[in-house]
Structure 1
């Protein structure tokens, strides 16, 4: 995992084609490596009426310790594992600058973007992660992944120098998201029956990764997926979507529900680590991205995680005193993360490594 002074390194990746270039060369081409098995293909029937059911949480009310809003958060984490956050306090121009800078980066010539290409054993840089075999069906997306906090984990050779000011814009955006994450942790601590600073303390030092996903248009959107269904190996993930292009979907009651953008809102989902700490009360939910036949889509995911040395296990007070059933065993976060990255993305398969064997 590297020493405490170095960013963690992960399993080697298999190099793959650049999807944006494939589309640029031939917009009608969908190579077989991207075509899903029939049962895994998205049904592009319009389920957008279900999107309005995804909970919307007002962060300004949470900060006032509003009981009704805390109760809404509790139910959102139990029933959905996802919610949209409004009144989060991040200035519109901070969000806009980040969107514009990322869009500009992806419009650069390939040779310029390739200056920041991911090395085969690192998760930082430009490319596609989680590709662990030559046979794997590929996602219809490219990504730029940067470790932002703690700052000594940053590998600045992977931080684009073009467009001008990109590094400062990422810094400003990431600091604003960091503040929102810390405020959400306070409310999550309270609904989990703890002091407001408890979750932050459990992290041993908060780690923050930033991933920009670029989903080019696809001539056969019903045959591909932008990102394979998965849950996140994070504590929480905070996502900024494009305001005018849909793509994110989550599983709810065995249906794929679209999370349609609310302008300037942030989407938050519970990660595996909250699921473990809460002994399964709050669930990390499978989600995926679908492609669009006419428009590219860009999304900005921030993963908030514990330090790699932190030990994660169900909190005593979250274990039912009657059954005393502990669903998860103790895991070191760095080991958990490395194990999840050895596999291709595949639903919640990676959470099995943290489960107590007697439940298998």
Structure 2
């Protein structure tokens, strides 16, 4: 199957939304079992993912205290129990976070011809897009997006970053730099919590040669939000994801047992979640968790997902230190490039991709 072009003409969801349609096209109508009408059970209705304050946990790049540190314990519990948590006082400039979100909102409200010059292909996904996966006739999500690479340096191409708004490229560079630094600190915390040396996970990811990319999501108003999703249920294929959500419009839902919890974003916080590569490396001590995005009939929504991933050609397998007789290695070694290609041909499919990789017993 070719990854050079999309299987059908690309339709911009924002254009559909702004056309004033009263009913969404059939291409966006999800099967009843996948729709967002499933309500939370009373036990999780008012739940929210853990909120963790990182203030004082670092001096420079060094983690203070060991695994007994209360903040590290909170992170460990969140990774094991939820696979998701929010972090505040994380060191990324809140003004920059807000400016980035608003610049991207401005980008999506540019004339279509200004955005079309950045139209993407499924070969790299880089640029302005409106679908994930290349399956012909697939049911699509109600969203547009912009995807770009930050690391490794050889993939970083400023020409592929939007020239408008005029501050956008400068903001992307500074924001990405600060989020990479935060991600590196989180990797140290996860290593310590797994009983490993502080730099263990970072080394597994390729040291300084990690992969890092940004996907900005734009969820236009939807006339029939109960029939579709902004992003179908999936777990993230990479290592860690740091999401800057829309503070005013909740949309992210996290699976909790058989229910879905709608995350209530905390101002100036990042929502952090475990990806499939971290599940493999930790031998499923930490698990990536299904999540999805619901849409809204009254308000559009903008969010920025920053993906912190292993270097693409390093085989990722369960850390030998986390493999025991009682807990044998659950996954064969696979590079992130191989796994990403596997994911991209299919589009979002819940947890089925990573689970299908488990070594036969």
TM-score, with structure 2 as normaliser:
0.92
| Stretch moving more, 183-192 or 342-351 | 342-351
- Partners of 2:339 and 2:100 in 1: CA distance: 31
Q: 1:139-175: CA deviations, max 9, x gaps?
A: 0000000011122202333211011121111111111
Counterpart in 2 of 1:36?
A: 30
Structure 2 vs 1, CA of residues 248 and 122 (structure 1 numbering), >3 Å: closer, same or farther?
Answer: same
Q: Which of 52, 56, 60 is matched with 1:57 structurally?
A: 52
Native 8 Å contact 2:48 2:264 kept in 1 = no
Structure 2 vs 1, CA of residues 344 and 336 (structure 1 numbering), >3 Å: closer, same or farther?
Answer: same
Q: Does 1:85 align with 2:87?
A: yes
Where do 1:135-284 residues align within 5 Å?
Answer: 135-204=137-206, 205-284=209-288
Deviation (angstroms), 1:128: 2.4
Deviation (angstroms), 1:268: 0.3
| Stretch moving more, 172-181 or 146-155 | 146-155
Deviation (angstroms), 1:179: 1.0
Q: Which of 326, 331, 335 is matched with 1:328 structurally?
A: 331
Q: Does 1:13 align with 2:16?
A: no
Deviation (angstroms), 1:10: 5.7
- CA RMSD across the alignment: 1.9
Counterpart in 2 of 1:131?
A: 133
- Partners of 2:218 and 2:229 in 1: CA distance: 12
- Partners of 1:94 and 1:195 in 2: CA distance: 32
**Residue 11 of structure 2: SS of its match in structure 1?**
coil
Q: 1:214-262: CA deviations, max 9, x gaps?
A: 0001111110100000000111000001111000001012110111111
Deviation (angstroms), 1:318: 1.2
Counterpart in 1 of 2:312?
A: 308
Structure 2 vs 1, CA of residues 40 and 199 (structure 1 numbering), >3 Å: closer, same or farther?
Answer: same
Counterpart in 2 of 1:6?
A: none
- Partners of 1:11 and 1:186 in 2: CA distance: 38
Structure 2 vs 1, CA of residues 228 and 185 (structure 1 numbering), >3 Å: closer, same or farther?
Answer: same
Structure 2 vs 1, CA of residues 142 and 295 (structure 1 numbering), >3 Å: closer, same or farther?
Answer: same
Native 8 Å contact 2:122 2:133 kept in 1 = no
Counterpart in 2 of 1:345?
A: 348
Question: Structure 1: which 5+ runs fail to align?
Answer: 1-8
